[in-house]
Amino acid sequence: MNRAQVTQRTTRHLHHFQRTPLQAWRDAIREASTLQRTRDEVKPGTFKRIMGYLMRYPWYMFWTLVVLIIDAGIIALGAALIQNVVDDYIMPLLKQSHPDFAPLARFLTILAGLYIISVITAWIRPILLVKIEQGTLKNIRDDMYAHMQKLPVAYFDTHEQGDVMSRYTNDTDALRQAISQAFPQILFDAISLVCTFVAMLWVSLPLTLLTVVLTALIMWLDIYLVRFSGRFFVKQQKDLGRVNGFVDEAVNGQKVIKVFTHEDATQRQFDEVNDALFRSSSMANIFGNLSGPVVNSLGLLTYTIVAVAGAGAALAGWGNLTLHGSMAMTLGTIIAFISLCREFINPMGEVAQQVTQVMLAMAGASRIFGLLDEPVEQDSGTVTLANVREDAHGVPKKADHRTEEWAWDVPSGIAVGPWADGPYPAGDGTTHSLVPLRGDIRLNHVNFSYVPGRQILHDISIYAKPGQKVALVGSTGAGKTTITNLINRFYDIDSGTITYDGIDIRDIAKPDLRRSLGIVLQDVSLFTGTVMDNIRYGRLDATDQECVAAAKLANADSFIRMLPDGYNTILSGNGDDLSQGQRQLISIARAAVADPPVMILDEATSSIDTRTEQIVQKGMDALMRNHTVFVIAHRLSTVRNSDAIMVIEHGRIIERGTHDQLIAQKGEYYQLYTGAFELE
């Protein structure tokens, strides 16, 4: 659902609560039935998966169960004992002329002992539970994040960031109370329920049957309520995600909002998503909260019915059937049974009160599992990078330590293009072969479309030999960036082939492929941390000296030294503290420290002034010697010294050649260069 639709829907319901309660109620019902159609429901299997997470702490779960049973036992025993204090201990005192309080004192000491155990378990229980609860939340967060890292780029291109973020906080948080409060409470109540149930069977089978039938009716009604509220809880979490997304977008664009004095309009839009959240949240809680009073009251009604029916049966002299045989229904039996009946109904009311928390947790978990179920990026590549040592003739031999020399470790059966250096036998007893890492990239008749039927690239062929600089020139939207997205397999091609050192890139494991490619993008993403951390991001084991050298190469060293703490200056994630150009320089340094054999520079210097760019260029050229480089740039000065220039229009290569060749050709490039015609 896009925002326009949301807006429509929300405006339709905008005055929801200014209507009469009846109208509001009708709206709510209508909305709920719509929800049913849009499948805003807790995913089946959610509870099982939550349990799966909890069971990662089997011992803690076990001991929690033990503690709960002890607790339930002591509470029941204590209650039973204290009932007897009058008959067994106080009444006898009255008959004594010199009352001996010692038996009472002994009894109370025993009781105190029991209670001390209960106090201890009350103290242990949360400690066990915190471990399970927080451990589970941590596991869920970690799993989500690890899973998210494996998702294809397409996922990030199509999902709202703030909504994804909401899963780490709001949705995970929704589970917290359920695990620490609701689940144990329900378990506790279930234990008492089972005990009472057995006791009830002992006293009277027919009455138990009556109780069970009546409570089943209550449960049936309650489940309906719970399902109903569950839908709203799912919607609440969705709406919360939308608020999260909206705030994320608004805060990130806050400066634009201010510049355009768009505060009021933004506030109105916010109010729309906020009101939607209010509606789903109040509906969810209304129906969730109703569960408690409904079950309590109907429980009381059940109790009354059982009492009346039991008393009637006893007076009519009906027989009774119990676990230990049949006998007459006596008044004593009835009194015993109805007090058990009360013990049976109370926990049901308590369980019902936990409904909101449980449904909230289920709604949050549904969304979390939704993210965890997103299909991950497929990688069937088997070719990996290996450390090698090359002999005097350039023949690689596998090495078991860091050598700074690399080769593709190619399993047998994978074709290697005849133009490649190698393959050489691996020489380690396997059928693998080695292809030295050189940086030869070839695109052969590549066709590509993001959406089937809408072809973006047509029959693209580019050969970049090791050490060559290939420029992609063309107007905005011609498909230059798309080409680079294909080389590192952010997206996969429709037809044709792309090879790296003669190996089809689909045969290369993605991490290894990407490690052998460096990319500098126009929109620079830096991470919270020091400048040094950000440069070192390129190669985690780079020394400080290497990072500084890379910064010097990118001409970033001088401005970094001017920062308050130099290389130790903390950059905030959005990097508002630096200019766009400075951010680009850091990102170039980051790529330089990684120093892969193939570099892709996508408008990497667009925000840098031309003089600085020239200096950067010189540094880069030094760095790029023996490196294959793809350059995308608007400034033709950046691409002039390329070994090959590809002019791309509407997803096709329309001209190719060196600068001189293209000038001589007097085609598109010539016109671009001489200014007779400009890039659109």
Partner 1 sequence: MGRLSSQRTSEDEALEKTAQQAGAPGSAPKRRAKNGTFERQGLTPGQRLLEQRQEAEFKRDLGSAKDIKYLLPSMREYKFDSYITMIFMVLEAIADLLIPTFIADLIDQGVSKGNMAEVWRWGGILALCALFALVFGGIANVFGARASAGFARNLRHDTFAAVQKFSFANIDHFSTGSIITRTTTDITNVQNAYQGVLIIASRAPIMMVVAWILSFRLSHSISMAFLIALPILLVALIIIAAAAHPSFVRVFHVYDRLNSTVDEDLNGIRVVKSFTREDYQVRGFKRISQRIYDLFAHAEYILATNNPVANMCMFAIQIAICWMAAQQIVASGNNPANGLTTGGLTSLLSYAGVLLSAVFMLSFVFVLVIISRASVSRIAAVLQEKNTMEFKPEGEAITTVPDGSVDFDHVTFRYDEEGTGDDVLSDITLHIPSGSTVGIIGVTGSAKTSLVQLIPRLYDASQGSVRVGGHDVRDYDLKALRTQVAMVLQKNTLFEGTIAENLRWGDPNATDEQVRRAAQLAQADEFVQRMPDKYDTHIEQGGTNVSGGQKQRLTIARALLRKPKILILDDSTSAVDTKTDALIRGAFATEIPNTTKIIIAQRLSSVEDADQIYILRDGKILAHGTNDELLKNSPEYRAIYETQNQTSEKQEVLRATGATTTNAETANAKEEK
Q: Which of residues 612-631 bind partner 1 (CB under 8 A)?
A: 612, 614, 626-627
Question: Interface residues for partner 1 in 479-498 (CB under 8 A)?
Answer: 481, 488, 490
Through-space distance between the first and last CA atoms of the chain, rounded to whole angstroms: 34
- Of 9, 197, 201, 248, which lies in the binding site for partner 1, with binding defined by CB under 8 A? 248
CB-nearer residue toward partner 1: 416 or 672: 672
CB-nearer residue toward partner 1: 20 or 48: 20
CB-nearer residue toward partner 1: 391 or 404: 404
**Structure tokens given for 19:** 């209507």
CB-nearer residue toward partner 1: 495 or 594: 594
Which among 353, 378, 238 has a CA at the least distance from the CA of 296?
A: 353
Query: Binding of partner 1 at residue 84 (CB under 8 A)?
Result: no
Minimum distance from residue 44 beta carbon to partner 1 (Å): 26
CB-nearer residue toward partner 1: 442 or 489: 489
Query: Binding of partner 1 at residue 334 (CB under 8 A)?
Result: yes
Minimum distance from residue 296 beta carbon to partner 1 (Å): 6
Pairing of strands 628-632, 598-602: parallel
The site for partner 1, by CB under 8 A, has a size of: 212
How far apart are the C-alpha atoms of 433 and 416, rounded to whole Å? Answer: 10
Query: Binding of partner 1 at residue 292 (CB under 8 A)?
Result: yes
Query: Binding of partner 1 at residue 13 (CB under 8 A)?
Result: no
Q: Can you give the C-alpha Rg of the chain in angstroms? A: 36
CB-nearer residue toward partner 1: 149 or 380: 149
Minimum distance from residue 590 beta carbon to partner 1 (Å): 8
Unique residue bearing structure tokens 């006791």: 199
How far apart are the C-alpha atoms of 128 and 144, rounded to whole Å? Answer: 24
Which among 166, 181, 178 has a CA at the least distance from the CA of 46?
A: 178
Contact 376, 394 (CB under 8 A): no
| Interface map 366-395 toward partner 1 (x if CB under 8 A) | -------------------x-x--------
| Interface map 30-69 toward partner 1 (x if CB under 8 A) | ----------------------------------------
Residue 451 phi, psi dihedral angles, 5° rounding: -110, 130
Query: Binding of partner 1 at residue 315 (CB under 8 A)?
Result: yes
- Rounded to whole angstroms, what are the CA distances from 451 to 152, 456, 492, 505? 15, 9, 12, 22
Backbone conformation region of residue 445, classed left if phi is above 0, alpha if psi is from -120 to 50, else beta: left
Question: Interface residues for partner 1 in 252-271 (CB under 8 A)?
Answer: 252-263, 265-267, 270-271
CB-nearer residue toward partner 1: 266 or 461: 266
Q: What's at 497, amino acid-wise?
A: T
Query: Binding of partner 1 at residue 676 (CB under 8 A)?
Result: yes
Question: Interface residues for partner 1 in 107-126 (CB under 8 A)?
Answer: 108, 111-112, 115, 118-120, 122-123, 125-126
Query: Binding of partner 1 at residue 595 (CB under 8 A)?
Result: yes
Contact 463, 520 (CB under 8 A): no
Question: Interface residues for partner 1 in 145-164 (CB under 8 A)?
Answer: 145-146, 148-150, 153, 156-158, 160-162, 164
Helix (H, G, I), strand (E, B) or coil at 234: helix
**Structure tokens given for 31:** 């909305």
DSSP label at residue 168 = I
List own/partner pairs for 614-620 with CB under 8 A and 24 or more apart.
615/555, 616/554, 616/555, 616/585, 616/588, 619/552, 619/553, 619/554, 619/555, 619/592, 620/553, 620/554, 620/588, 620/592
Query: Binding of partner 1 at residue 347 (CB under 8 A)?
Result: no
How far apart are the C-alpha atoms of 611 and 555, rounded to whole Å? Answer: 11
Query: Binding of partner 1 at residue 530 (CB under 8 A)?
Result: yes
- Of 281, 320, 499, 642, which lies in the binding site for partner 1, with binding defined by CB under 8 A? 281
- Of 168, 183, 188, 448, which lies in the binding site for partner 1, with binding defined by CB under 8 A? 168
How far apart are the C-alpha atoms of 246 and 242, rounded to whole Å? Answer: 6
